[in-house]
Amino acid sequence: MFIVHIADITMFYAPASGGVRTYLDAKHRRLGNKPGIRHSLLIPGSSLSEQDGVYTVPAPALPFGKGYRFPLRLAPWRNVLQDLQPDLIEVGDPYLTAWAALDARRQLDVPVIGFYHSDLPLLVSNRMGNWVTTNVEAYVRKLYGNFDRVLAPSRVMADKLIGLGVRNVFVQPLGVDLQTFHPSARDPGLRAELGIDENTHLLIFAGRGSKEKNLPVLLDCMKRLGRRYHLLLVGSSMPALVPDNVTVVDEFCPAPQVARLMASADALLHAGDQETFGLVILEAMASGIPVVAVAAGAFQEIVTEQCGLLCPPNNSMAMANAVRELFGSGSAVLGRQARRHVEQHYSWDTVVNSLLGHYHAVLGSHWPLTANG
């Protein structure tokens, strides 16, 4: 039987990872169930090892890096790829592993796809200032210009790449685990745990408390909303000083725990204005709750009028008004519509089938007939 072998390679994989790990884990599980397809996943680790098709390649740990490792040597990654001899390689970050994949391509003569998960020029300028932006854009243009096809999780990201002169760019949205994130995860006891009554509107934000999430906007919004509203902030690096109507769970929470909190809330609140996709938005919608987010980044592509409300970015008064409007116009109906929307458009099975279309396109006549499963 012919087998097509797909290899993913990334350094964005750690115990408390965000969207890239969620994507790769979901993909690895589903490709493993497809007849005629083998999937290998190369990630950084303390030593060279393999378990269930996941290969760890030695890379030093980052200090204060929450489990992340930063590869410094290209050869170990290239060597594992050469030993595996995949038919296609997908790159999940713009650093050394990307160049290792391109280096392996020269020996293996296989196509390499780049998935542009993070807006690198924006990330660097946020931390170092705009003086580096031109150089980082030139780097992105050079690196992603080498790939046979480039995938971006949203139209806004694809347009940025096209604007830099990158060709063969395609929009490939991510997905959500519809079983884990489900209205049935609702816990009627959560309000009592938080010390709030049944008439209080419970809002939630889940994610890292990084600068680009604009948490001060959420906190100011809650001051404006007052005690009939309560916000649950869930994730690492959350602020310590918060208004009385905010509760902080300052730790990384596994998906089932987040799913319980999501389904028990009345709406998701998100002030981030630089999101390349926004998996947490899909998780909230899958949990059967509507969304109040800012009209920026990829949110304008994900949050439809049937699923929630968008407001101007960096404007806590506008966000508070949007929250009041949401609860004045049938938030439960929007939550049910949100669940149906993600079921139709964002299941991981839908995403993986779309990915197989991209792989088929770059492999062309080399795609085995038995791998269509």
Q: What is the pTM of this model?
A: 0.93
Enclosing H/E stretch for 222:
helix 215-225
Per DSSP, the residues of 188-242 read: TTHHHHHT--TTSEEEEEES---GGG-HHHHHHHHHHH-TTEEEEEESSS--S--
Domains of the chain: residue spans and CATH: 4-175+347-366 (3.40.50.2000), 183-346 (3.40.50.2000)
Q: What's the pLDDT at 373?
A: 44
> How confident is the model over 315-332, as pLDDT tens digits?
999 999 999 999 998 899
Angle 301-302-303 from CA coordinates, rounded to 5°: 105
Q: What's the pLDDT at 242?
A: 95
pLDDT-based confidence at residue 131 (cuts at 50, 70, 90): confident
133 vs 239 pLDDT, higher one: 239
> How confident is the model over 184-238, as pLDDT tens digits?
999 999 999 999 999 999 999 999 888 889 999 999 999 999 999 999 999 988 9
Rounded alpha-carbon distances, angstroms, from residue 335 to 190, 332, 338: 19, 5, 5
Average pLDDT, the chain: 92
Q: What's the pLDDT at 211?
A: 84
* Residue 18 clears pLDDT 80, i.e. is over it: no
pLDDT-based confidence at residue 372 (cuts at 50, 70, 90): very low
Work out the average pLDDT over 271-276: 91
281 vs 125 pLDDT, higher one: 281
* Residue 55 clears pLDDT 50, i.e. is over it: yes
> How confident is the model over 228-244, as pLDDT tens digits?
999 999 998 899 899 99
The helix/strand/coil state of 160 is: helix
Q: What's the pLDDT at 31?
A: 96
Report the candidate in 217, 216, 247 with the shortest Cα–Cα distance to residue 230.
247
125 vs 253 pLDDT, higher one: 253
